[in-house]
Structure 1
């Protein structure tokens, strides 16, 4: 195979220009993304490794986030499920088994689907609309006329995130699309689009501004000229999320979506103003004069909470003078310390003396507890409004709170009405709720086997007690209004962030998943084959370790059981995964008087390969423990730029790597572009991502997704940046052979897909692997040229992490949407030139 390998590979000049300039100009234009798809295909066609096929090992039991469900009204045992980043799946046996039908598409993230069951035409709007940290952008609309065997691309590349597709009830060529637009950058291509020629052309009929898009729509099936759309103002940056604005509103069209009129005006009964966030709309089909709206109202609640006379509220400690602090009640302070874990080290009298002697500021307690209690703003949250005159006037239906969302309304705000009972209404959020009195009172439908965070609901038009629910844990089905549910979890659609392996026999793969905790699964795990021929449900042997949004995992390879794992924003523990004994929180804590630590959503943790007792941990500082995390010492000050403030932790470390050749040669990377190295185990640190006297080739305002120290050359290190949080899709990949003193760009032929991970082959230093938001790529020449390796994988799938099991010589992929894949490296290493 060596003779077939060529290093003179074509490079798209346009892509190079974009890579070099995107740090300045911002997002990647849609036309360049479309052209880059040809580059991806070229890497597939010239691949020398696609004779080696990946096998999926699940797990399936935790499933993954669902964005939409469409069922056949004449035979509800047939339905389609659209996953946030796991593709489109089809079942004909009521969810006992599924077949993926969208795996040949250029993107796999889905915002909404629509099905014309008379013609069997499927429309897919790509790009999840939930605006979360892993809501991948799409590239427009696809359509299939042969039940998903083939797909036609219909355009709208700048849509990025599509909230709703509405089909005309009698004209298969007419459809409307609610386009929310870019997540991390402004763009004018937001609003409502209409086609009358089956998607060959589109007209933008509702446009508001560069930060306000359409998130939901519904139609009067008796008069298809009458439509409703909800517009949502929201901006997101890596450091701040603004989830409401005065341009949010409800619009109505009476001419088939050609023109639109704002109906959420002062006096209409609907709330208006800067606090209005995401909204959903539902039209009652039997009497379309009845319309429901659910609103994420971000207006702060009045403070009516009862004060606890035994303890201070955190806000009572804000902006105190020295004199005011001296007058605080010591018993109430000591109770506060005890409840928040400070009593062992501090007491009220000691802290008062420290403030009196200027050893602490009088605001130190507020600063400390503000971070560690995690309290947030307390908005009104979900409200439901009803109109009985086609949207002319509205009345709020609920008097009591609807406990489905408060500070996270941007993730939900979906409402549905029974097909034949105007007073039976469903609202989705943290829980799924039903009202039988037109929205006045609400009852939760959730049960123990139903995951929280609900995004989709299908209601049987002939039996409204039969529901199919889509949530962050997959699909649940009920036939009795939610009294009993069963879970349809056969697809392997887990959204992994980070993975690692142990040396057990068979070895285990560990990983943290979006909203589904931390799990481990044997590498020999069984699951459905999804080949359509005699599918048999086999046992999924995955086991749970921790909850929350699962993040990074490390395993002590001396016993293969001592496990370090965590959830969002640095909440990490150490435990014996089998006995659960000795569980201990190991998250570093700041001291009173110090600036609060900042933790990334996926805070990095690393066990030293030289001694597994040594634990490295990243906040905005670098921490080290010599005793398995029992004590964590900060070895640095702030290693980030710390230049941005907002309501999202930012200026945090994202990646840590230690040289397997030399103990104490350690690199860190941050979310704001800083890269540091220490060559003496943390005594001294050098910034290597920017040179003050000459311009660095490294992007300066991009997320460092991975730094990886070579095992073949001491000074060699690989570095990747990810522009996802700027809607910048350039593949930023670099190498240094002198400890980061100088850098060279790699991957000049990679497609426009943000890079999540770069790893070096465990046996051949010429082979490197890159996982992007679109797939896996392999280089045989140390990164100068690449080829795709996607045998056994969907055409496009986010690869968030790569691990190797060296004893078995296997590679493991942690995908964000299709769980785990494993393949042998034997033939890959045989095909590559020897180092």
Structure 2
């Protein structure tokens, strides 16, 4: 049995017991679970000034346009006013979205396929396909639970219970649940109607609007590892069915010979015999068929049409003009002459287009989804308007300053680094957020000894030191000497700033600066396994070489100096090492070889040195890059000589971060790919913090030392704050066993507008 904790502390005391049910009976075991903390409400502070990656869009025109948007990591959002306002409608379910489709015969029936199919290194995972029959008020999971990612959903325009699903499948390992699936009874049962092998999934599917028995599917053989990506192989190909999916024929006439990679297909609604095709191959290109796929003619490709097929492979045919087709890429491209020429129409829009919806009754109206959110155009892309009401930013890290009220800082996927207020008397608006740096933003810190200085990091260890009062900026990334090995920085390079102002940075070596980055000292040898097999990034990509350094491996990923002893520094690597120095870097010991239950070489995502004991530390590990989705969290109390597993059955999702409270060592917080968890017993039991907080990936956590707030960096729903941890520090077994109790809280503060 369990009590239920609420945010009643805002009145000055938090009451446990009499207001909460059920109440424990005498002598019963104290069980702490998600219901215990079901009343805790986290506060979303956005931002929506920049949004995260959008994976899917669908809409339907009624008296007003109803729009559904699927975020790569932030769930499904619905607008009933043409995009002016949005509300989340999928907060109880998996937040990684791959596909959305509205049943045109029953507009309140909407299908959602979870698991984004744009397979970059930071992509999340799905857990099947869902359906609503009441416009998003209620959802039911309809199966395909193990598909991991769904790229497209096609609904029969005449018989809405017949649905086809393009299941891309597992990214990190081989698995049989992939291919094309069909249901004829609204999702009650499914049949896999096209399958190649355990390595090959379906990347796209299109259904002929004039004859739904004709379908096209593109099959894709691919595999990602933490240190490489491979697109293409003999399993890839383009298929057609003429009997509603019962049988399929591989199409080859006029298409490139040899191995293919990711392909995209679109049927012209204005002339269904015309089919457009993008093909990744040794020589990628655009193709057109005017006889329903019997033969193909290669068109002209612009430099942008063939860019990064694993990330940009979506074709959309104009609903009224058979000669007009759109191709998503870094920008949005359009051909008005059946692939003879291409024009960019994405000017003024955030780069990296992934989704596009063209109004079938008014093709001038477009909605596009990019790495930076949703934009709309009413003139075929000549001009665009940003829809700034979607707080779906994909943060990697979060920090704070000591102003009042304090500000939060963080970096986002492809949206740079930003800072904004933790609260304002009139509420936090987009205009209150300020950009600090560009690129893929990661760490952003205020110097604890000089609040006028901010450190802003972007990919591969690049750090800017910014003096806010003057705007002076200096690049302070450490550089190799002539006789040194090339530094290997992780895409998400770890930084660590201490209260004394010491700054650490990790490559394969650990660097330290005590003069704010003017000079650096290397204080370690290579702390990784230095495995040469995992250092061939120049060859990564498969058919389309993609050596963006996002797969840099054998690198340091997490750093933590002990708050109790600055000579004690912990380092975790992406290839499974936990290295410890107790003498400020003079000597190092690998103490991560015997983590209980953790396979060798598992990525170490976080090391948290205890605030109370220099011998104590916590570690989280993540094996999803090899298909291992288990949660791993461990603790040592003897400098890593022995480790104890803190993993319990309540935990879900691979682990990103663990934080120990600053006041009560038994109070722990854990962020995983599936949400936020709390333990008040040092990890003996864990409970999910739900309330209004969705099961979104939590990449980082920070505790404000003055205000005692928990800051949550979600990778899909922006920044959240759990105000005032003081009551949680008062939770003991005796309090939880009592019929009623009063818990302390910080003094309340009312903000009065000036």
2:256 aligns with one of 256, 267, 271: 271
Q: Which residue of 2 aligns with 1:435?
A: 335
After superposition, what is the alpha-carbon deviation per residue over 1:511-568, rounded to whole angstroms, capped at 9, x for unaligned? Answer: 010111111111015898xxxxxxxx94441111111111122221233231112112
Q: Which residue of 2 aligns with 1:44?
A: 34
Q: Distance in 2 between matches of 1:645 and 1:222?
A: 51
Q: Distance in 2 between matches of 1:769 and 1:566?
A: 25
Q: Distance in 1 between matches of 2:452 and 2:261?
A: 45
Superposed counterparts of 1:146-165, under 5 Å = 146-165=134-153
1:747 to partner: Cα distance: 2.7
Determine whether 1:295 maps to 2:279: yes
Contact 1:291–1:388 (8 Å) recurs in 2: yes
Q: Distance in 1 between matches of 2:600 and 2:30?
A: 29
After superposition, what is the alpha-carbon deviation per residue over 1:455-504, rounded to whole angstroms, capped at 9, x for unaligned? Answer: 11111112212111111111111011111111112021110001111111
Contact 1:554–1:605 (8 Å) recurs in 2: no
Contact 1:76–1:460 (8 Å) recurs in 2: no
1:645 to partner: Cα distance: 3.0
Q: Which residue of 2 aligns with 1:350?
A: none
Q: Distance in 2 between matches of 1:686 and 1:827?
A: 39
Q: Distance in 2 between matches of 1:527 and 1:58?
A: 15
Determine whether 1:485 maps to 2:384: yes
Q: Which residue of 1 aligns with 2:557?
A: 654
Contact 2:54–2:354 (8 Å) recurs in 1: yes
> Which of the two has greater strand per residue?
2
2:633 aligns with one of 733, 737, 743: 733
Q: Distance in 1 between matches of 2:697 and 2:649?
A: 18
Q: Which residue of 2 aligns with 1:637?
A: 525
User: What is the root-mean-square deviation in Å for CA atoms of aligned residues?
Assistant: 2.0
Contact 1:57–1:527 (8 Å) recurs in 2: no
1:702 to partner: Cα distance: 0.9
1:7 to partner: Cα distance: 10
Contact 1:59–1:527 (8 Å) recurs in 2: no
2:496 aligns with one of 599, 602, 606: 606
2:269 aligns with one of 285, 289, 292: 285
Moved more, 724-733 or 161-170: 724-733
Q: Distance in 1 between matches of 2:43 and 2:602?
A: 33
The 1:576–1:791 alpha-carbon spacing in structure 2 relative to 1, beyond 3 Å, is: farther
Q: Secondary structure at the match of 1:213?
A: strand
Q: Which residue of 2 aligns with 1:556?
A: 447
Q: Distance in 1 between matches of 2:687 and 2:569?
A: 30
* Structure 2 segments unaligned to the other structure (5+ residues): 1-15, 18-22, 538-550, 736-754
Determine whether 1:689 maps to 2:592: yes
Contact 2:47–2:430 (8 Å) recurs in 1: no
Contact 1:731–1:750 (8 Å) recurs in 2: no
Q: Which residue of 1 aligns with 2:393?
A: 494
1:154 to partner: Cα distance: 0.9
After superposition, what is the alpha-carbon deviation per residue over 1:798-817, rounded to whole angstroms, capped at 9, x for unaligned? Answer: 11111111211111100011
Q: Which residue of 2 aligns with 1:333?
A: none
Contact 1:527–1:539 (8 Å) recurs in 2: no
Q: Which residue of 2 aligns with 1:567?
A: 458
1:405 to partner: Cα distance: 4.6
Contact 1:451–1:473 (8 Å) recurs in 2: yes
After superposition, what is the alpha-carbon deviation per residue over 1:587-629, rounded to whole angstroms, capped at 9, x for unaligned? Answer: 22223343211111111011122x20x2110001111112111
After superposition, what is the alpha-carbon deviation per residue over 1:630-665, rounded to whole angstroms, capped at 9, x for unaligned? Answer: 122221121111222332211011000011111121
After superposition, what is the alpha-carbon deviation per residue over 1:252-289, rounded to whole angstroms, capped at 9, x for unaligned? Answer: 000101111110x2xx1111323x32111000123211
1:751 to partner: Cα distance: 2.7
Contact 1:697–1:743 (8 Å) recurs in 2: no
Q: Distance in 1 between matches of 2:42 and 2:425?
A: 14
Q: Distance in 1 between matches of 2:124 and 2:264?
A: 21
TM-score normalized by structure 1? 0.81
Superposed counterparts of 1:665-684, under 5 Å = 665-684=568-587
After superposition, what is the alpha-carbon deviation per residue over 1:74-115, rounded to whole angstroms, capped at 9, x for unaligned? Answer: 45632111111111111111211101111122x111100111
Q: Distance in 1 between matches of 2:734 and 2:411?
A: 35
The 1:525–1:222 alpha-carbon spacing in structure 2 relative to 1, beyond 3 Å, is: farther
Contact 2:221–2:234 (8 Å) recurs in 1: yes
1:759 aligns with one of 655, 659, 671: 659
1:546 aligns with one of 437, 441, 444: 437
1:572 to partner: Cα distance: 1.8
Determine whether 1:403 maps to 2:298: no
1:833 to partner: Cα distance: 5.8
Determine whether 1:595 maps to 2:497: no
Q: Secondary structure at the match of 2:730?
A: helix
1:737 to partner: Cα distance: 0.4
1:834 to partner: Cα distance: 9.8
Q: Distance in 2 between matches of 1:404 and 1:544?
A: 31
Contact 2:79–2:85 (8 Å) recurs in 1: yes
Q: Distance in 1 between matches of 2:430 and 2:194?
A: 50
1:752 to partner: Cα distance: 3.3
Contact 2:438–2:458 (8 Å) recurs in 1: yes
The 1:550–1:697 alpha-carbon spacing in structure 2 relative to 1, beyond 3 Å, is: same
After superposition, what is the alpha-carbon deviation per residue over 1:153-183, rounded to whole angstroms, capped at 9, x for unaligned? Answer: 1111221010100001111211000011101
Q: Which residue of 1 aligns with 2:20?
A: none
Q: Distance in 2 between matches of 1:111 and 1:492?
A: 18
Q: Which residue of 2 aligns with 1:716?
A: 616
Q: Secondary structure at the match of 1:750?
A: coil
Superposed counterparts of 1:453-464, under 5 Å = 453-464=352-363
After superposition, what is the alpha-carbon deviation per residue over 1:123-175, rounded to whole angstroms, capped at 9, x for unaligned? Answer: 01000000012211101101111111111111112210101000011112110
The 1:629–1:526 alpha-carbon spacing in structure 2 relative to 1, beyond 3 Å, is: same
> Which of the two has greater helix per residue?
1
Q: Secondary structure at the match of 2:460?
A: helix
Q: Secondary structure at the match of 2:441?
A: coil
After superposition, what is the alpha-carbon deviation per residue over 1:659-702, rounded to whole angstroms, capped at 9, x for unaligned? Answer: 111112100000011001001111111110126xxx96543221
Contact 1:290–1:389 (8 Å) recurs in 2: yes
Q: Which residue of 1 aligns with 2:646?
A: 746
Moved more, 50-59 or 126-135: 50-59
1:206 to partner: Cα distance: 0.7
TM-score normalized by structure 2? 0.89
Q: Which residue of 2 aligns with 1:80?
A: 68
Q: Which residue of 2 aligns with 1:346?
A: none
Q: Which residue of 2 aligns with 1:618?
A: 506
Determine whether 1:259 maps to 2:259: no
Q: Which residue of 2 aligns with 1:808?
A: 707
Q: Distance in 2 between matches of 1:75 and 1:445?
A: 28
Q: Secondary structure at the match of 1:827?
A: helix
Contact 1:246–1:272 (8 Å) recurs in 2: no
Q: Which residue of 2 aligns with 1:13?
A: none
1:413 to partner: Cα distance: 1.1
Contact 1:127–1:139 (8 Å) recurs in 2: yes
After superposition, what is the alpha-carbon deviation per residue over 1:351-398, rounded to whole angstroms, capped at 9, x for unaligned? Answer: xxxxxxxxxxxxxxxxxxxxxxxxxxxxx55x2110011101111111
Q: Distance in 1 between matches of 2:620 and 2:29?
A: 23
Q: Distance in 2 between matches of 1:387 and 1:591?
A: 56
Q: Secondary structure at the match of 1:569?
A: coil
Q: Secondary structure at the match of 2:727?
A: helix
Contact 1:525–1:541 (8 Å) recurs in 2: no
Contact 1:780–1:833 (8 Å) recurs in 2: no
Q: Distance in 1 between matches of 2:155 and 2:123?
A: 25
Q: Distance in 1 between matches of 2:292 and 2:597?
A: 58
Contact 1:59–1:540 (8 Å) recurs in 2: no
Q: Distance in 2 between matches of 1:296 and 1:580?
A: 45
Contact 1:732–1:754 (8 Å) recurs in 2: yes
Q: Distance in 2 between matches of 1:405 and 1:615?
A: 41
Q: Distance in 2 between matches of 1:206 and 1:525?
A: 55
Contact 1:563–1:574 (8 Å) recurs in 2: yes
1:728 to partner: Cα distance: 1.5
Q: Secondary structure at the match of 2:310?
A: helix
